[in-house]
Structure 1
C-alpha cells in the first residue's frame, strides 16, 4: 500500500511538471466577413478607403479580381463562369488593413458597387501582430500624424519673400523616425499661384566657383498636394521626411516652383531650426 501511494504521488508530480511545458493556445479573434455577390454578366466594384496592395487572395480561380489602373483603391470582381461556389476573398490595404469577404454567385445581381467603410470585417496587421515591432508607419497612421500637425500652432518664423509671395516655415515636428515641416504660403498679389513642384534637399553652405553644386535630394514620405493660391490668399502646406539632422557645412533647402511660371521660392533650414522641433503627442 505504501509503495502504491508513493508511486501515485511521483506520477502526479511527473504529469504536473510536464504540463508546465505545454504551451497554452493563444486567443483567436475571428474576423466577420463582408458578404458580397458577383455574376459573370456584370462587374462588382469594391471601393476601399486606402490603396489596395498587390493581388488579393482568392479562394478559387473562378473568381476574377483586378485592380484599376490609375485608381489604386478600387478592385473589380467578376465570376469567370455562369456559376461559382461560395468562396473567400482577402484584400490587403496600405493602412495595414485586412478586409475579409464571403463571395457568392447571384445571376440576378442588384448591387454592383460597394464602398468599404465598416470596421467589422477589417483588422489591422498591427493588432494581429501586437508583439511585432514595426519600423514603418503605414498610410493610415501617417494620415493621423499629418492631421495632428495640421492643427498644431506654429512656433517658427523663418521666411523668404519674393514676387509678392511669402514662404514661411511655421513649425517642425517629429514622431519616432518621421519629421514633419509645416509651411505657410501667402500670395499677396492679385495673380493666382499654382505650384508645379516642391522638393527638399541637402547642399553645401559655401560653393566655390570652381566646384560644381552637389545636391542630395530627400524623398518625402508624405506631402500635401501642390498648393493653389488665389490672389490675396494663404494656406498651410505639409511635407514629411525621414528624421534627419544636417551635416557640418551643409544646409537643408526647401524649394517651391510655380507651374509654368517664374515665381520660384526657396528657404534655407538650419540645424538650429531642427533642434527646436516638437514631438507630436
Structure 2
C-alpha cells in the first residue's frame, strides 16, 4: 500500500517494487485525489514480461539463478508430478510421507515431496526440518546435526485435511553427505505426535535428475 506523504505535489515522482520472486516493477507517480486506478495486479502485469527482458533482481542466496526461472522450475516439477523415487517413504498414525523426486539445476537441489492423510483427523503441520545427522544416531536422540534451510518453498503446507493429499517442492543449496551420515526430512505435527521422518542417503542425492530442456510454464 502506497500513500502520498504530502498533498498536491506538482512534480512527477516514482517508486520501485521488488517482489519475493525477484521481479522488478517501476511506477511513475503523479498526485491525484481521485485516482482512476486504485489497485495494480502484478501477476497480470507479469504476463507481458518475459525472462529475456531482464527484469529479474538476483538474490544472493540464489546465486546466478533468476528468481523467476527458479519459480517456474518449481511450478513445473509440482504440476508435472512425476514419481522418480519409489523407496523413500514412511507411514505411521495414518499419515504417509514420501519423497517423489530429487532434481538438480545450476547448483541447486529441488526436492519434491508428498504427504497423504489417510485419516479423518486433519494433520496440522508445525514445522518441517532438513538436517544432516550421523547415520547411527538417526533413529535415536540426535547429538550432532547440521541444519539445512530451504531457500524457497513452492507451496507452504499448513494443514492436510482428512483423506487428502498435498505436495510441495523445496529448493536447497547443492550439497553432499558422507556415507556415515543421512539427510533427515522431518514433519512435526502441531499439538500432536504424528511426526514423520524420511532418511535420504548420499547415494540418493547423487542420483538427482538433471533438469534439462524441461518444458516451463511461462506466466
Scaled by the length of structure 2, the TM-score of the pair is 0.78
Distance in 1 between residues matched to 2:95 and 2:33, nearest whole Å: 60
Distance in 1 between residues matched to 2:168 and 2:50, nearest whole Å: 32
Structure 1, unmatched stretches of 5+, are 1-74
**Alpha-carbon spacing, 1:126–1:96, altered in 2? closer, same or farther (3 Å):** farther
> Is 2:13 the counterpart of 1:87?
yes
Residue 168 (structure 1) shift? 1.3
> Is 2:2 the counterpart of 1:76?
yes
Q: State how 1:191-230 maps to structure 2 within 5 Å.
A: 191-207=121-137, 213-223=143-153, 224-230=155-161
Structure 1 stretches (4+) deviating beyond 4 angstroms?
119-126
> For the Cα contact (< 8 Å) 2:102–2:111, is it kept in 1?
yes
Distance in 1 between residues matched to 2:25 and 2:81, nearest whole Å: 33
Scaled by the length of structure 1, the TM-score of the pair is 0.63
**Residue among 84, 100, 107 paired with 1:155:** 84
Structure-2 residue corresponding to 1:137: 65
Distance in 1 between residues matched to 2:199 and 2:163, nearest whole Å: 25
Deviations 1:45-78 (A, max 9, x none): xxxxxxxxxxxxxxxxxxxxxxxxxxxxxx4131
> For the Cα contact (< 8 Å) 1:168–1:184, is it kept in 2?
yes
Q: State how 1:26-45 maps to structure 2 within 5 Å.
A: none
**Residue among 54, 60, 64 paired with 1:127:** 54
Residue 233 (structure 1) shift? 2.2
SS of 1:80's equivalent? Answer: coil
Residue 153 (structure 1) shift? 1.1
What's the C-alpha RMSD, in Å, of the aligned pairs?
Answer: 2.8
- Rg: which structure is higher? 1
Structure-2 residue corresponding to 1:118: 45
Structure-1 residue corresponding to 2:32: 106
> Is 2:197 the counterpart of 1:269?
no
Distance in 1 between residues matched to 2:45 and 2:142, nearest whole Å: 55
Deviations 1:55-112 (A, max 9, x none): xxxxxxxxxxxxxxxxxxxx41315133321233333444443323222222443433
> For the Cα contact (< 8 Å) 2:116–2:165, is it kept in 1?
yes
> For the Cα contact (< 8 Å) 1:96–1:125, is it kept in 2?
no
Structure-2 residue corresponding to 1:174: 104
Question: Which one has the bigger strand percentage?
Answer: 1
Structure-2 residue corresponding to 1:253: 184
Q: Which has the higher contact order (CA 8 A, sep 6+)?
A: 2
> For the Cα contact (< 8 Å) 2:77–2:112, is it kept in 1?
yes
SS of 1:154's equivalent? Answer: coil
